[in-house]
Amino acid sequence: MSLKFAPFLPELLRSLFKKPVTVVYPFQKEAVAAGFRGTVVFDPAKCIGCNICVNDCPAEAIDIIRVSETEKKFKMILHNDRCIHCAQCVDSCPTKTYHMDLEYEVAAFSRHNLKIEYK
Amino acid sequence: MIERLVHWSRVKSPWVLHLNAGGGCNGCDIEILAALMPRFDLERFGVQLKGTPRHADVMICTGAVTLQNRDRVLRVYEQVPDPKFVVAAGACAMAGCVYRGSYHTLIGIDQLLPVNAYVPGCPFRPAALIDAVVKLLNSVK
Amino acid sequence: MAILKPILYILVYPGLIFLMVYSTFCEWFDRKLYARMQNRIGPLHTGRSGILQPVADIIKLFAKEDIVPEKADKHMFTALPVFALAIICTAALYLPVWHYSEAPSFISFPGDLIVVAYLLTLPTLIFFLAGWHSTNYFSAIGGVRVLTMLFGYEIPLLLALLSPAVLAGSWRILEIAVFFQNRPLLMLVNIIGFFIALIALQAKLERVPFDIPHAETEIVGGQFTEYSGKKLAFFRLLGDIEMVVGAGLIAAVFLGGFPGGLLPGLAWFIVKTLFIVFLLAAMRAATSRIRIDQMISFSWRWLAPLGVLQLFIVIIIKGNMP
C-alpha cells in the first residue's frame, strides 16, 4: 500500500491566499456561451401552420392553434415545463419561425406561469 | 421579535436533501453537484447537502417519478420535518419530459407532492437552480 | 465574594455562555477555512461574511418540528443529547483558563487530566447509545462504527497525553502547562505526541478522514439519522464545543497553556485554539474518507507505536534532565 500523505497540501495552502474562483452568482452574472439554447421564441407572422414542429417535438411541448377561420393566422403555446430545449423545432421549421434566446432564469412558483403564449 | 429571528434563521440556513425520484438520465443530479462545487458554491447561502431527510428543509427532486418509486418518494417527503419546501428541478420532475405517456411514470412530481418552485431546463444550468433557490427564499413568509 | 467566582466560572467564562459563543465562532472559522482551501468562498450572506451562519443553523434547528420515531426508546432518545452536552460542558470547566498562579480554578485538582480524557470519551459512548436507541438500521451501523473507531484512537490519544505528563511529573493540567511555560524548549520533545493527539482528536470529532460513523454516501446519517429539530441542534452544539474543549486540552498540555491573568489568558486561549482548529481544518481538507478497517489498522500500526516511541523518548530525556 503506497499512500502518499496529503499530496494536495501545497495546493490547499496556495489557494488559501488566492482569490476564490466562485462567481457570486445573483450579483455577478457570467455571460452565456453563444450557442446556448435557452427559451424558444416564436414569430407568429412567419408561421404557415404546417404543424411539422408539433409532430417533431420529442416532448410534446408545442401547440399550434389557428386563430381565425379565414386568414392564415396562428398562435403558439409553449409548455416551458415540458420543453427540453433541444432546438428540434428551430431545425425543422421550413420558414425559420423559431429561434432560441439566451434566457435561463425562468424559475417559477407554479407550472401555469411557465406556459408561454405567442400570438 | 422571536418570530423575526426564527424567520431570519430559516431563510439563512436551508439544508438540502437531493432526491432522485427514479426515472431520468441523472443529468440534473450532476448539475446540482455543479451548483455545490467551488464555481457556484451554494454554501454562500448556508446550503448544506444532507444525507437524511430528517435534517433537511428543502427537498430538491429530479427525475420522473416512476410508479415503483411513488410510495418511496411520498415516504421520504413525510420524513422531512416541518416547515419543508419542495423544488422540482428539471423537465422530468416538472412534467415528465420525454417520458410523458410512458406506462410507468407520473407526469410531474406535483401529481404527488405540493411543489414550491419549478426550475425549467433539461438539464437546467447551475445558475438557474441558484436563481430558483434565491427566489424561493425571498418569497418565504 | 468567594461564591461569586465559581458562579462566574460556570456561567460566563469558560462556562456555558463563553463556550456557546466561542464554539459557534470556531465552527464558522473552520467552515470558512475549509471553503477557502477548496478555492470557494464559504458562508457569505449571513451576518458579516457569514459569521452568524452556525447561529442561524442552530436557531433554525430549534424552531423546527421535532420528530421522535414511534419505535424508538422515547426517554433515552430525548435524554441523550442533553446528557452529552452537559458532560462536555463539565469537561470544559477543567481547562486552566483563569490562570492565577496559586488558585487556578476551583475544581482543578491533581489528576484532572485523566478526568478530562474520561469526560471526552463519554460523548462517544452517548453517540453509540443514540444510534442504538433510534432503532434504525443506519443508526445502528453508525453506532457500532463509533465504538469500533473508539478502540482505534483512544489508546494513542492517552499515550500522547501521557508523555507530557510524565515529562512534567504531574497529572494536573495546570502544572504541566506551567512546566512548559518555564522551559519552552522542552515542548519540542513532544512534537510526535502533539501530532498523534491532533489525529486522535480529529477521529474523536468524527471529521473528514474519520467521518466513517456518519458517512453520508454510505449510511445516510449514521448515528444521527433519526434525529431532527432540537435534539440535532444539541448534537451540533456538542460537536462544536467538543472541538473547542479538545483544542483547549491539547493547547494546555502540549503548547504551554494560557499564561498571565484573565485577559492575556483569554487572548492566548483564542490564539492557540484557533491555531489547532486551523490544523484540523487543513487535515480535513487534505484527506478523504478512509474505510473503518484502514482506520483501525492505521491507528494500531502507526499511531500506537509512535505513541510508545514518544513515551520512551520522554523517559530517556527525563532521566538525563538536571
- Give pLDDT, residue C100: 53
The three grid cell numbers given for residue A41, joined into one nine-digit string: 421564441
Chain B positions in Cβ-Cβ contact with residue C221 (cut-off 8 Å): 50-52, 54-55
Beta bridge partners of A100: A40
Query: Are C282 and A13 inside 8 Å of each other by CB?
Result: yes
Distance from CA of A1 to the nearest CA of C (A): 11
Query: Are A104 and B125 inside 8 Å of each other by CB?
Result: yes
Question: Given pLDDT bands bounded at 50, 70 and 90, which one contains residue C106?
Answer: low
B17-60 pLDDT, tens per residue? 888 888 778 888 898 888 888 888 888 888 888 888 888 888 99
The three grid cell numbers given for residue C182, joined into one nine-digit string: 518555564
Distance CA B117, CA B114 (A): 10
Chain A positions in Cβ-Cβ contact with residue B121 (cut-off 8 Å): 85, 104
The interface residues of chain C toward chain B in range 199-228, judged by CB-CB distance below 8 A, are 214, 216-217, 220-221, 224-228
Distance CA C152, CA C155 (A): 7
Question: Given pLDDT bands bounded at 50, 70 and 90, which one contains residue C98?
Answer: low
Give me the half-sphere count of Cα atoms (radius 13 Å) on the Cβ side of residue C198.
20
Q: Considering its fold, how many domains does chain B have in total?
A: 1
Instruction: Report the interhelical angle of C304-320 vs C137-168 (nearest 10°).
Output: 10
The three grid cell numbers given for residue B53, joined into one nine-digit string: 431527510
Asked if residue C14 has pLDDT above 80, the reply is no
Interchain CB contact of A28 with B (< 8 Å) = no
Average pLDDT, chain C: 85
Task: Assign residue B100 the CATH number of its domain.
Answer: 3.40.50.12280
B84-94 pLDDT, tens per residue? 889 888 888 88
Give domain status of residue B8, yes or no: no
Question: Given pLDDT bands bounded at 50, 70 and 90, which one contains residue C10?
Answer: confident
The CA angle C183-C278-C169, to the nearest 5 degrees, is 25
Query: Are B43 and C35 inside 8 Å of each other by CB?
Result: yes
For residues A42 and A74, is the Cβ–Cβ distance under 8 A?
no
Chain B positions in Cβ-Cβ contact with residue C31 (cut-off 8 Å): 43
Asked if residue C4 has pLDDT above 70, the reply is yes
Query: Are C286 and A6 inside 8 Å of each other by CB?
Result: yes
C226-238 pLDDT, tens per residue? 888 888 899 888 8
- Give pLDDT, residue B94: 84
* Cβ atoms < 10 Å from Cβ of C180: 24
> Could you report the predicted ipTM of this complex, rounded to two decimals?
0.86
For chain C, what's the residue count? 322
Query: Are A18 and C285 inside 8 Å of each other by CB?
Result: no
Distance from CA of B107 to the nearest CA of C (A): 29
* Residue range B127-141: mean pLDDT, rounded: 84
Chain C positions in Cβ-Cβ contact with residue A10 (cut-off 8 Å): none
The three grid cell numbers given for residue B2, joined into one nine-digit string: 422571536
Give domain status of residue B96, yes or no: yes
**A3 contacts: CB under 8 Å, gap ≥ 6:** none
Distance CA C5, CA C11 (A): 10
For residues B59 and B87, is the Cβ–Cβ distance under 8 A?
yes
Interchain CB contact of C285 with A (< 8 Å) = yes
Distance CA C124, CA A91 (A): 63
Question: How confident is chain A (119 residues) per 10-residue block, as mean pLDDT?
Answer: 69 83 80 82 83 85 83 83 85 86 82 80
C285-304 pLDDT, tens per residue? 888 888 888 889 888 988 88
Give domain status of residue B89, yes or no: yes
Domains of chain A: 30-118 (3.30.70.3270)
Query: Are C55 and B9 inside 8 Å of each other by CB?
Result: yes
The CA angle C156-C161-C162, to the nearest 5 degrees, is 95
Give how far the C-alpha of residue C86 lies from the chain's centroid of Cα atoms, to the nearest Å: 14
Burial class (CB in 10 A: 0-12, 13-18, 19+), B12: buried
Average pLDDT, chain A: 82
Reduced to 3 states (helix: H, G, I; strand: E, B; else coil), residue B16 is strand
Question: Given pLDDT bands bounded at 50, 70 and 90, which one contains residue B120?
Answer: confident
* Domain-wise residue ranges, chain C: 4-320
- Identify residues of B whose CB sits under 8 angstroms from chain C CBs: 5-6, 8-10, 12-13, 38, 41, 43-46, 49-52, 54-55, 57, 79, 81-83
For B15, phi then psi, to 5°, come to -95, 140
Q: For B119-141, what is the HEC assignment?
A: ECCCCCCHHHHHHHHHHHHHHCC
Question: Given pLDDT bands bounded at 50, 70 and 90, which one contains residue C108?
Answer: confident
- Give pLDDT, residue C322: 67
